[in-house]
Amino acid sequence: MTVPQADEGTPILELRGVTKSFGAIQVLHGVDLKVFPGQVTALVGDNGAGKSTLIKAIAGIHAIDGGQILFQGNPVSVTGPRDSAALGIEVVYQDLALADNLDVVQNMFLGRERKRGMLLDEASMEASARDTLAKLSVRTLKSVRQLVSSLSGGQRQTVAIAKAVLWESKVVILDEPTAALGVAQTRQVLDLVRRLADTGHAVLFITHNMVDVFEVSDRVAALYLGRMAADVPISQVDRPQVIELITAGRSGNLGIAPAEVAAVEV
Amino acid sequence: MSSTISAPTSSQEPGGAPSGFEADRTAGSLGETVRAYVDRVRGGDLGALPAILGIVALGLLFFALRPETFLTPRNMANLADQAAPIIILAMGLVFILLLGEIDLSAGVVSGVCAAVMAKLLADAGAPWYVSVAAAIVTGVVIGLFTGSLVGMIGIPSFVVTLALFLGWQGFTLRLIGEGGTVPVRDPVISAISDRNVPVALGWVLALVVIAVYAAVQLNRFRVLRGRGLAHAPLPVVLVRIGVIAAVVVLVTAVLSVDRAPAVGVVLAGIPYAIPLVVLLLLLLTFVLGRTSFGRHVYAVGGNAEAARRAGINVTRIRVAVFVIGSTLAAISGIVAAARLGSVAPGSGGGNTLLYAVGAAVIGGTSLFGGRGRVRDAVLGGLVVAIIANGLGLLGTEAYLNFIITGGVLLLAASVDALARRRAAATGH
């Protein structure tokens, strides 16, 4: 299905032949994917290619029908969001899921508040939130006690990402983090994505934007109609090839076999 | 490997300071704090401002119209008694409104609970604590029922509580009987509204409240500054303490004056309803502000989906706020019964609920969920009670009372909606 790849060490997260159907419609057809620590893997694909379903399968929101999910080389069963969180997989969804009426610290610790007896331990949470943001070299927030409603799009994205990192997470999945951002804010978020990988996280980065892909990614994985067309180091492909993989499922010697492509398109 | 980006590029937003969190590091001067407050208000976050302005304006208005009766100690004590049931009911509604839900049955639930208490006292001869406990348990059970219908089955709270608004009235009617009233003459329960805290004890309590408040505020300031965390500047903390102290002293002083209508009798001291309200205010403010439950209530009200993904049991929070709402409705019903000395089939009906919702909204709690505090119920409840009390003193006709009270609620809801639009427009 996919082309043979050079060995690059153990992937922290690996999918093998993952399938998923919703009723009669099969959305994922035996998808393989490897995500490595310290690397940014761009997950690309056209609308309806199955990107969202794939990340929801990893996050445990949709249980997979077939195939295997391996974490640090061991098969794991992910049947709910708590399972993936326990493994250290954090997902930052496109809608960010921040509560506008709470401040940055409160959002970052939402659902996992630190307590001292019955009381919330605000001081410790504020200090940790600031530490995490500082580690990610976030410099654009005036105060961690600002309400999220007063933040710009890029700042919100930053907070959502920092929230994911706060929990000793090993794999961070970002769903189109730059989709609605302007130039300067996209820049900030891309820097942050790069820094996430540089601090040892495995980053799976979903995007439509080719500039973003070539700017920050180490690997690129292209989905085509629910099949993994290619999962290769970025150095092996150029932009036209990635676009071809997204739109046609194959490019040169990469991608789904021609016969299969034809079968899919019928 | 591909193009690795050198980490800190010059990618800051224009005006973004290089260090970050500068607002947290510096204490901020008094001027800055005032400016930030003005910005917040202009951005649509009015906080307690409308309620405080309302209290002052209405106070002046009724003082001008009825100078000889309105601002007398006797009327102020009466006002406190009048406001207490409204405030307590509104406190419960704050929790429900924080989720963006509504409980239209809260008023009549207070009636049902009061009826349960009154029947136990009058017919079964139960002691006051058994009757009060039964009333509160009734409130808890009703809240569980309402909350389950809303949270688990997923019926809109508007519909559930509208149905229960009718249903519980029938329940009260069945308990009490057509045209009947059940007297509430138990001395302990009547004391809530009839009796006063002895003047000396009142002053002690007042000073204790001020001292504890000041200690908590100053200690928090010290800890936060010591650890280099975000905190209000010292002058702001001192002003806050000063304002609270002044209000407490003023109220205690006014209510410590002898207000007996006849010579030779002494009637002075704080009505017991006030310490009850203060106690609930402290307890519920603590729950909302300092516990993870309170934090989750705000989160569900602000973004239920975000709360769900953060692992918060949204259904449990939904049920819990209805339980809190109905429990406070029960307490409110008890206080109202103590004040009136009886429970009738119509108890908790009429404008009871309207007053309480109005109180919460006037106080600054949003009908759209996510914004509100327990103190809103106190401030808004005072505004509503002043209107009811003042119109009573003016001897306004009943029809005008309805129109004016309805108008005030509409005004408060408009302010809420406009503030929300303004907040959305200015990004606050």
Q: What is the pLDDT of residues B123-156, one digit of tens each?
A: 888 899 999 999 999 999 999 999 999 999 999 9
Is B287 within a domain?
A: no
- What domains can be seen in chain A, in order of their start residue? 13-97+169-265 (3.40.50.300)
Is B210 within a domain?
A: no
Per-residue confidence (pLDDT) for residue B149, from 0 to 100: 95
Cβ B20–A141 below 8 Å, yes or no?
yes
Query: Residue B286 in contact with residue B205, Cβ under 8 Å?
Result: no
Cβ B311–A127 below 8 Å, yes or no?
no
Cβ B299–A110 below 8 Å, yes or no?
yes
- Cβ of A144 under 8 Å from any chain B Cβ? yes
Query: Residue B333 in contact with residue B347, Cβ under 8 Å?
Result: yes
Closest CB to A139: pick one of B16, B310, B428: B16
Model pLDDT for residues B24-34, shown as the tens digit of each residue? 655 566 677 77
Query: Which one, of B336, B352, B401, B359, lies nearest residue B169 by Cα?
Result: B352
Rounded CA-CA distance B46/B363 in Å is 10
State the average pLDDT over residues B191-208.
91
Closest CB to B11: pick one of A110, A145, A187: A187
Per-residue confidence (pLDDT) for residue A2, from 0 to 100: 42
- pLDDT of A106 strictly over 90: yes
Cβ A99–B290 below 8 Å, yes or no?
no
**Looking at the predicted complex, does its ipTM rise above 0.85?**
no
- Per-residue pLDDT band at B195 (split at 50, 70, 90): confident
Per-residue confidence (pLDDT) for residue B71, from 0 to 100: 87
For A18, phi then psi, to 5°, come to -75, 130
Per-residue confidence (pLDDT) for residue B4, from 0 to 100: 38
Return residues 184-203 of A near B (CB < 8 Å).
184-185, 187-188, 190-191, 194-195, 198
Which residues of chain B make contact with A217, given a CB cutoff of 8 A? 2
Cβ B295–A126 below 8 Å, yes or no?
no
From first CA to last CA, the distance across chain B in angstroms is 42
Residue B226 to chain A, least CA–CA distance (Å): 11
Is B321 within a domain?
A: yes
Residue in B224, B227, B292 to test binding to A, most A beta-carbons within 10 Å: B292
- pLDDT of B232 strictly over 90: no
Is B208 within a domain?
A: no
Phi-psi region of A91 (alpha: psi -120 to 50; beta: other; left: phi over 0): beta
- Per-residue pLDDT band at B242 (split at 50, 70, 90): very high
Per-residue confidence (pLDDT) for residue B258, from 0 to 100: 87
Residue B12 to chain A, least CA–CA distance (Å): 7
- Per-residue pLDDT band at A258 (split at 50, 70, 90): low
Per-residue confidence (pLDDT) for residue B193, from 0 to 100: 84
Q: What angle do CA A97, A217, A99 make, to 5 degrees?
A: 10
Query: Which one, of A32, A91, A101, lies nearest residue A62 by Cα?
Result: A91
Which residues of chain B make contact with A108, given a CB cutoff of 8 A? none
- The tally of CA atoms less than 13 A away on the side-chain side of residue A156 is 23
Closest CB to B303: pick one of A97, A119, A234: A97
Is B91 within a domain?
A: yes
Taking all residues of chain A, what is their mean pLDDT, rounded to a whole number? 85
Closest CB to B309: pick one of A97, A145, A146: A97
- Per the model's pLDDT, the better-predicted residue between B179 and A235 turns out to be A235
- Per the model's pLDDT, the better-predicted residue between A28 and A5 turns out to be A28
Please state which of the ranges A189-193, A202-206, B38-42, B359-363 shows the lowest mean pLDDT: B38-42
Is B215 within a domain?
A: no
State the average pLDDT over residues B406-410.
85
Please state which of the ranges B5-14, B18-27, B93-102, B411-420 shows the lowest mean pLDDT: B5-14
Which residues of chain A make contact with B229, given a CB cutoff of 8 A? 123, 126-127
Cβ A130–B310 below 8 Å, yes or no?
no
User: What is the separation of C-alpha B408 from the centre of its chain, rounded to a whole number of angstroms?
Assistant: 17
Q: Which domain holds residue B111?
A: 46-195+297-303+314-419
For B379, phi then psi, to 5°, come to -65, -50
User: What is the separation of C-alpha A266 from the centre of its chain, rounded to a whole number of angstroms?
Assistant: 31
Model pLDDT for residues A119-132, shown as the tens digit of each residue? 888 888 998 998 88
Per-residue confidence (pLDDT) for residue B47, from 0 to 100: 77
Residue in B309, B367, B371 to test binding to A, most A beta-carbons within 10 Å: B309
Closest CB to A97: pick one of B306, B370, B423: B306
- Cβ of A149 under 8 Å from any chain B Cβ? yes
Is B33 within a domain?
A: no
Residue A260 to chain B, least CA–CA distance (Å): 31
Count of structural domains within chain B: 1
% pLDDT > 90, chain B: 55
- pLDDT of B10 strictly over 70: no
Nearest CA in chain B to A39: B1
Nearest CA in chain A to B4: A216
Q: What is the CATH number of the domain that holds B67?
A: 1.10.3470
Q: Dig out the tokens for B338 from the structure.
A: 């103590």
Which residues of chain A make contact with B20, given a CB cutoff of 8 A? 133-134, 138-142
Taking all residues of chain B, what is their mean pLDDT, rounded to a whole number? 87
- Cβ of A60 under 8 Å from any chain B Cβ? no
% pLDDT > 70, chain A: 94
- Cβ of A123 under 8 Å from any chain B Cβ? yes
C-beta contacts of B312-315 below 8 A and 24+ residues apart = B312/A110, B312/A111, B314/B151, B315/B151, B315/B152
Nearest CA in chain A to B286: A119
Model pLDDT for residues A235-250, shown as the tens digit of each residue? 888 888 888 888 888 8
- Cβ of A130 under 8 Å from any chain B Cβ? yes
Decide: residue A45, CB within 10 A, 0-12 exposed, 13-18 middle, 19+ buried.
Answer: buried
Return residues 204-223 of A near B (CB < 8 Å).
214-218
Is B169 within a domain?
A: yes
Q: Dig out the tokens for B343 from the structure.
A: 């429970």
Q: Coil, strand, or helix at residue A222?
A: strand
Which residues of chain A make contact with B17, given a CB cutoff of 8 A? 139, 142
Per-residue H/E/C for chain B: CCCCCCCCCCCCCCCCCCCCCHHHHCCCCHHHHHHHHHHHHHCCCCCCHHHHHHHHHHHHHHHHHCCCCCCCHHHHHHHHHHHHHHHHHHHHHHHHHHCCCCCCCHHHHHHHHHHHHHHHHHCCCCCHHHHHHHHHHHHHHHHHHHHHHHHHHCCCHHHHHHHHHHHHHHHHHHHHCCCCCEECCCHHHHHHHHCEECHHHHHHHHHHHHHHHHHHHHHHHHHHHHCCCCCCCHHHHHHHHHHHHHHHHHHHHHHCCCCCCCCCCCCCCEECHHHHHHHHHHHHHHHHHHCHHHHHHHHHHHCHHHHHHCCCCHHHHHHHHHHHHHHHHHHHHHHHHHHHCEECCCCCCCCHHHHHHHHHHHHCCCCCCCCCCHHHHHHHHHHHHHHHHHHHHHCCCHHHHHHHHHHHHHHHHHHHHHHHHHHHHHCC
Which residues of chain B make contact with A186, given a CB cutoff of 8 A? none
- Cβ of A152 under 8 Å from any chain B Cβ? yes
Model pLDDT for residues A35-61, shown as the tens digit of each residue? 999 999 999 988 888 888 899 889 888
Cβ B307–A110 below 8 Å, yes or no?
yes
Inter-chain Cβ pairs, chain A and chain B, closer than 8 A = 150
Residue B69 to chain A, least CA–CA distance (Å): 43
Rounded CA-CA distance B391/B411 in Å is 18
Residue B23 to chain A, least CA–CA distance (Å): 5
Query: Which one, of B91, B96, B85, lies nearest residue B143 by Cα?
Result: B96
Q: Dig out the tokens for A156 from the structure.
A: 């919100």
Residues with Cβ within 8 Å of residue A262, at least 6 apart in sequence: none
Residues with Cβ within 8 Å of residue B77, at least 6 apart in sequence: B196, B255, B259, B271
The one-letter code for the residue type at B53 is L
